[in-house]
C-alpha cells in the first residue's frame, strides 16, 4: 500500500510556500514516484476524502505514488495553497473553484470530478420566522467568498436585503471558522449561519437552532454541487497517470460510501476527530448523512449559476467558464467500472 503522510494545515503550507514549494515541488523524474499533495475539509460534505484517506483507498489507488494530506476550513485558503504550489489537488466547493479559474484567466486549475451534492443550510434562532427577522443582525459563513458565503448573500439579495464584503448592509455577514460559529451561535452573538454539514445539524441539535433554508430547495431537482475535485492544470499535464490513479481512488471511495454507509460514517467521523480533536455524536453524523448525495458527477449545470450568484453580490466579475472541466480521465475510470460517463455543458 502506498504511504500516506498527514501534514499540519496552514502553518505547514505557509512554510512550504515560503521555502520554494512552487510548481516543481513534489515533481518527480520520469519513472519516479510522485508526491500528491491533496487538500480537503473536516466536513461531512468531504466524506469522499475523509473515508478515502482513513480507509487507505486513495493511497492504495495511487500505487507507487505517495499521498500528502492537508486540511482547511474553507475554499479560499485551499485556493491560495493551490496557487502557491503547496497543493496539487483539493476537494473544494464551486465558488472557490470558479474564483481560482477566473483569477488565473482560465489557466491554473481544472475540475476533474464531482464528490458531493447537497448538505448546506441556513440555521437560525427559533424566533426568526423569515428573512426579515435577520435585518440588523449578524449571520456567519465559513469564509468570505466561499460557497456558503455566496449562497447566503444571494439568498438575502433575493429577499431584498443588502450585504457587502465588509460586513455592512442590512444583514452583517461574519466569516468565521465553523467551530467558532457553533460557539457564537450558542452565546447569541450571531442570529444564524449558512453552513455545510455537519455544522448545520450541530447548530440544530447542540445550538437549539432551526433550519430556515435548505439550499437544496433553491435548485432544480434539489441537485447542486457542494464538493468537487480540483487539480492544478500544470500537475494534470505533467502527471496524467497519477491524476488517473487519484480518480480511481475517488470512484472507489464513493462506491464504498454507497455500499457501506454505516462503516463510512464511522470512518468519516474518525477522520474528523483526528483533524479537529473532537468526534461528532453518532446522531449528528447520521442526521447529516441523510442530507448528502455522494456522486462522481460534478453537477456542472449548477456551476454557472453559482458563478452568476457571486457576480450578482459583487464578489466576482463575469467569467467565462469554458474549459474549467477536464473529465476525460474520470470517464475512463467510470467506463472501466461499468458506470455511466459524466458530461460538462
Residue pLDDT, tens place only, 92-127? 999 889 999 999 999 999 999 999 999 999 999 999
> How far apart are the C-alpha atoms of 40 and 58, rounded to whole Å?
13
Give the predicted TM-score (pTM) of the model. 0.84
Helices (H), the chain: 10-18, 47-54, 57-61, 75-84, 94-103, 147-158, 178-187, 199-205, 233-238, 240-259, 261-276, 282-289, 303-312, 328-336
Mean pLDDT, the chain, as a whole number?
A: 90
Residues 301 and 212 in one domain: no
Residues 230 and 325 in one domain: yes
Longest dimension (CA), the chain: 62
Q: Sheet harboring 225-232: ordered strands across?
A: 4-6, 66-71, 35-40, 89-92, 225-232, 109-118, 292-294
Residues 228 and 115 in one domain: yes
Residues 33 and 99 in one domain: yes
> How far apart are the C-alpha atoms of 184 and 144, rounded to whole Å?
17
* pLDDT above 50: residue 26: no
Q: For residue 128, what are the contacts with CB-CB under 8 A and spacing of at least 6?
A: 134, 191, 192, 212
Residues 264 and 283 in one domain: yes
- The phi and psi torsions of 310 (rounded to 5 degrees) equal -65, -35
8 A C-beta contact, residue 80 and residue 255: no
Give the pLDDT of residue 11: 35
* pLDDT above 90: residue 296: yes
Residue 28: inside a domain, yes or no? yes
187, 207, 222 — which closes off a domain? Answer: 222
Give the pLDDT of residue 343: 87
Q: Which three cell numbers stand for residue 235?
A: 500537475
Give the pLDDT of residue 29: 56
Taken in order 58, 101, 157, 168, the sign of the CA dihedral is positive
Q: How confident is the model at residue 19 (pLDDT cuts 50, 70, 90)?
A: very low
Q: What is the extent of the structural domain holding 20?
A: 4-119+223-336
Give the pLDDT of residue 49: 98
* pLDDT above 50: residue 25: no
Taken in order 177, 180, 181, 182, the sign of the CA dihedral is positive
Closest CA to 69 of 3, 5, 11, 12: 5
Closest CA to 9 of 111, 64, 80: 80
* pLDDT above 70: residue 324: yes
Residues 228 and 320 in one domain: yes
Q: How confident is the model at residue 143 (pLDDT cuts 50, 70, 90)?
A: confident
Domain count, the chain: 2
Residue 341: inside a domain, yes or no? no
Give the pLDDT of residue 344: 83
222, 241, 276 — which closes off a domain? Answer: 222
Whole-number percent of the chain with pLDDT over 70: 91
Residues 138 and 166 in one domain: yes
Residues 112 and 236 in one domain: yes
188, 222, 256 — which closes off a domain? Answer: 222
The H or E element that residue 140 is part of is strand 138-141
Residues 84 and 158 in one domain: no
Q: Which three cell numbers stand for residue 196?
A: 455545510
Give the pLDDT of residue 8: 36
Give the pLDDT of residue 32: 84
Residues 212 and 239 in one domain: no
Residues 228 and 330 in one domain: yes
Residues 184 and 271 in one domain: no
Summarize pLDDT for 231-290 with one digit per residue, the tens: 999 999 999 999 999 999 999 999 999 999 999 999 999 999 999 999 999 999 999 999
> How far apart are the C-alpha atoms of 270 and 283, rounded to whole Å?
15
Residue 344: inside a domain, yes or no? no
* pLDDT above 80: residue 70: yes
* pLDDT above 70: residue 198: yes
Give the pLDDT of residue 16: 35
Residue 27: inside a domain, yes or no? yes
Residue 342: inside a domain, yes or no? no
Residue 268: inside a domain, yes or no? yes
Residue 260: inside a domain, yes or no? yes
Residue 104: inside a domain, yes or no? yes
Task: Say whether the peptide bond before residue 192 is cis (omega within 30 degrees of 0).
Answer: no
- CATH value at residue 132: 3.40.190.10
Q: How confident is the model at residue 316 (pLDDT cuts 50, 70, 90)?
A: confident
> How far apart are the C-alpha atoms of 190 and 181, rounded to whole Å?
8
Closest CA to 150 of 158, 83, 113, 123: 158
Question: Which three-class secondary structure state does DSSP give residue 29?
Answer: coil
Amino acid at each position: 500500500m502506498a504511504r500516506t503522510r498527514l501534514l499540519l494545515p496552514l502553518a505547514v503550507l505557509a512554510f512550504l510556500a515560503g521555502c520554494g514549494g512552487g510548481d516543481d515541488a513534489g515533481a518527480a523524474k520520469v519513472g519516479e514516484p510522485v508526491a500528491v499533495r491533496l487538500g480537503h475539509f473536516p466536513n461531512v460534505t468531504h466524506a469522499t476524502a475523509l473515508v478515502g484517506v482513513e480507509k487507505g483507498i486513495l493511497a492504495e489507488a495511487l500505487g507507487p505514488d505517495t499521498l500528502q494530506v492537508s486540511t482547511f476550513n474553507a475554499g479560499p485558503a485551499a485556493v491560495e495553497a493551490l496557487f502557491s504550489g503547496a497543493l496539487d489537488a483539493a476537494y473544494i466547493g464551486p465558488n472557490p473553484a470558479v474564483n481560482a479559474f477566473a483569477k488565473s484567466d482560465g489557466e491554473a486549475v481544472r475540475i476533474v470530478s464531482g464528490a458531493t451534492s447537497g448538505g448546506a443550510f441556513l440555521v437560525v434562532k427559533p424566533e426568526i420566522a423569515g428573512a426579515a427577522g435577520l435585518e440588523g443582525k449578524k449571520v456567519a459563513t465559513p469564509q468570505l467568498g466561499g460557497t456558503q458565503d455566496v449562497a447566503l448573500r444571494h439568498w438575502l439579495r433575493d429577499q431584498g436585503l443588502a450585504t457587502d464584503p465588509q460586513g455592512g448592509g442590512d444583514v452583517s455577514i461574519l466569516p468565521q471558522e465553523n467551530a467558532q460559529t457553533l460557539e457564537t451561535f450558542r452565546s447569541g452573538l450571531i442570529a444564524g449561519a449558512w453552513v455545510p454539514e455537519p455544522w448545520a445539524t450541530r447548530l440544530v441539535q447542540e445550538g437549539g437552532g432551526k433550519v430556515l433554508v435548505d439550499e437544496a430547495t433553491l435548485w432544480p431537482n434539489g441537485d447542486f454541487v457542494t464538493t468537487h475535485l480540483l487539480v492544478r492544470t500544470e500537475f494534470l499535464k505533467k502527471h496524467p497517470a497519477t491524476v488517473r490513479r487519484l480518480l480511481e481512488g475517488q470512484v472507489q471511495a464513493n462506491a464504498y460510501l454507497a455500499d457501506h454507509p454505516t462503516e463510512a460514517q464511522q470512518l468519516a467521523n474518525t477522520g474528523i476527530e483526528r483533524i479537529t480533536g473532537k468526534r461528532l455524536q453518532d446522531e449528528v453524523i447520521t442526521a447529516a448523512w441523510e442530507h448528502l448525495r455522494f456522486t462522481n458527477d460534478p453537477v456542472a449545470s449548477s456551476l454557472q449559476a453559482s458563478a452568476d450568484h457571486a457576480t450578482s453580490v459583487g464578489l466576482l466579475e463575469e467569467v467565462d467558464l469554458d474549459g474549467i472541466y477536464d473529465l476525460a480521465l474520470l470517464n475512463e475510470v467510470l467506463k472501466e467500472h461499468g458506470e455511466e460517463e459524466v458530461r460538462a455543458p
